[in-house]
Chain A
Amino acid sequence: MADSAPAGGRGGFRGGFGGARGGGRGGPRGRGRGRGRGRGRGKDDQKEWVPVTKLGRLVKDGKIVNLEQIYLFSLPIKEFEIIDFFIGNTLKDEVLKIMPVQKQTRAGQRTRFKAFVAIGDSNGHIGLGVKCSKEVATAIRGAIILAKLSVVPVRRGYWGNKIGKPHTVPCKVTGKCGSVTVRLIPAPRGTGIVSAPVPKKLLQMAGIEDCYTSARGSTGTLGNFAKATYAAIAKTYAYLTPDLWKEMPLTKAPYQEFADYLAKNHRPVVGARPADV
């Protein structure tokens, strides 16, 4: 390359990281990226997901069979694309509320927008997220992502006769967080969901048609009511109902190498005691 070497420059040697930009005194810095994949072109949705956590990598490779396997080991799900990968098509989101929140600053009031979004697939998965942002659209998008990250599985069962599809919780379960205890009780068909408006919406979106609920404690404490409800819902899977009494052979995880990773990193589900009857 016949570059005339400027005094003090690199004289045609290519620069490295941290050097002058582009073809200035530093000379070209190696080849550019071939095929210009995506940067600046196209919309955000078209960018392929590159996982950042190990669980994300396992999911993208297809080494995890379904979402329930992740819940079984209580692994923290930090990338919403993991949920999208398994049940993305069936999830329906519903904006519950958008409201302006104002903060007093020296230059007047600063307005941001808070969005509540519930997400569920009417087939046993439910989540609710809240996000505050300067733009309405960003708040809604952020809330959807948080809702996906907070998805919990809900197990449904019958109140009495086992005819038709499961329509209620399989047994009485309670969840506790702080001083708040939430109790879900099976109800006969046609009862509907008897509960405060928000848990009612959540249970409906999860696919539960009939349920009695009872809440106790200072439900005003932020977050505790939510966590207690989620804990109660999570217990539906933890409870060993009689139909599961039959002994089943232990299935071996398809890929033992990372089943070790799953076993190493799982945190025990808090309070897996049988629900009071």
Chain B
Amino acid sequence: MNKIDLGYLEPCEKWQVESRLFPSKAGGKPAWLNLEGIPRGEDLLCSTCGENLIFLCQIYAPYEEDDNNFHRTLFIFICRNANCCIRNKSDNIRIFRSHLTRDNKFYPSDPPVEGPDPDFSLSKWSSICEACGSFGDKKCSNCKVVTYCSRKHQIIHWKENHKKTCGTKENTSGDSSILFPEFEIVIEPEVLNVKEIDEEQEKQKFIELQKQGKLGTMSDLDEEELTKHSTTSNDKMFAKFRKCVENNPEQVLRYSRGDQPLLISDDIIPENIPDCEYCGGPRQFEFQIMPQMLTFLKETQLDWGVLICYTCKFSCTDINVDYKREFVFKQDVSLSNI
């Protein structure tokens, strides 16, 4: 079995999650990788309700053997409308993949310096919507500096932030309320405490208990009598999920390219994963988002069990599309008892 990487959310400074540092982050605005072919407003509309999708998280996952994928980031967007959250359907979630070679026109070929850099700004290459961070070229008619992707976002941003600072040189720094709170995702390898169980030792312990008479207050009763009244676990998949997670309860992301995902229910199992629409090659499991992320993002409306993400196995780079769509499978927690 492959080694699994876990992602944890850590609070961070704004500059630490800028595009030039190739971050993995959750919430806030997307830190785009390829700064030119950014998904436009039309690509980021929810297919159910037509609202704009909001940035959920991105992870930086390069292919170390492939020069074309020296830089590689996956972006996940989700619709914040709770009505679009249908059980076991992933239409309200979208995932994009972007890649760059080491030599590219946006970033230096040498590693960046870990420190604030006031010169860096995404708007040098594309106009970005101030409210949600996607491509936006509709200017504020008053100051002609700030851009938006749609009228809705312009109205929201005006009320919350821009009204006070339109026309002044001040930077409207606060994040809009439509965005999730911003965090960085840090990587740690998964460590499982697997202990060897000595059967003889356990038998000894049992005999000890027997001598002490501590085998239970109804130990003389038949096993059948007791089993008639007991409850065992019905949702085995969920029990396995809990057992795997309990060593590291704060994990928000599990990464294991090519491996099997950790399912949370067996109501509906991922199968018939569609092939990559750009190169025709197969897709493989890459990572999954855990429900703990909702707790840390303080999200009350949306809900999911696990978001399982499948990406093109070869991470194809040929077609001239900068942000390629990939496949995400949503599993919700089973509604059965226990």
Query: Which A residues are closer than 8 A to B by beta carbons?
Result: 1, 3, 10-21, 26-27, 29-34, 37-40, 44, 47-54, 57-58, 60-61, 76-79, 94-100, 110-111, 113-116, 127-131, 134-136, 146-147, 149-150, 196-199, 201-202, 219-226, 229, 257-258, 265, 267
Contacts and interface: CB of A to CB of B under 8 A. Distances in A.
A33 B8 contact: yes
Contact of A57 (B22, B61, B286, B300): B300
A97 B291 CA distance: 36
Contacts of B111: 1, 3, 11-14, 27
A26 to B, nearest CB: 7
Contacts of A113: 202, 206
B259 to A, nearest CB: 10
A222 B227 contact: yes
Is chain A's interface secondary structure helix, strand, loop, or mixed overall?
loop
B217 A150 contact: no
A52 B188 contact: no
8 closest pairs, A vs B, by CB? A16-B60, A150-B231, A130-B230, A225-B228, A97-B216, A12-B111, A17-B255, A226-B229
B68 interface: no
B189 to A, nearest CB: 6
Contacts of B22: 13-14, 16
B266 interface: no
Contacts of B10: 31, 33-34
A58 B241 CA distance: 20
Contacts of B188: 32-33, 39
B211 interface: no
Interface residues of B, number: 80
B166 interface: no
Interface in B86-113: 102, 110-111
B227 A130 contact: yes
Interface of B: 3, 5, 7-8, 10, 22-24, 59-62, 64, 70, 72-73, 102, 110-111, 184, 186-189, 191, 197, 199, 202-203, 205-206, 209, 214-219, 221, 223-233, 235, 238, 241-242, 245-246, 248-250, 255-257, 264, 286-287, 290-292, 294-296, 300-301, 303, 333-338
Contact of A199 (B3, B205, B217, B229): B229
B264 to A, nearest CB: 8
Contacts of A61: 300
Nearest to B202: A135
13 contacts: A16-B187, A18-B5, A20-B64, A34-B10, A50-B295, A57-B294, A76-B338, A96-B217, A99-B223, A116-B218, A128-B230, A130-B232, A136-B206
Contact of B206 (A12, A18, A94, A100): A100
Contacts of B233: 131, 146
A201 B216 CA distance: 13
Contacts of A116: 216, 218, 226, 230
A146 B231 CA distance: 7
Given A17-B61, A19-B62, A98-B219, A54 B303 contact: yes
A39 B248 contact: yes
Nearest to B257: A18
Given A15-B64, A135-B197, A97 B228 contact: no
Nearest to A74: B337
B202 A96 contact: no
Contact of B338 (A52, A53, A149, A199): A149
A128 B303 contact: no
A201 B231 contact: no
A202 B229 contact: yes
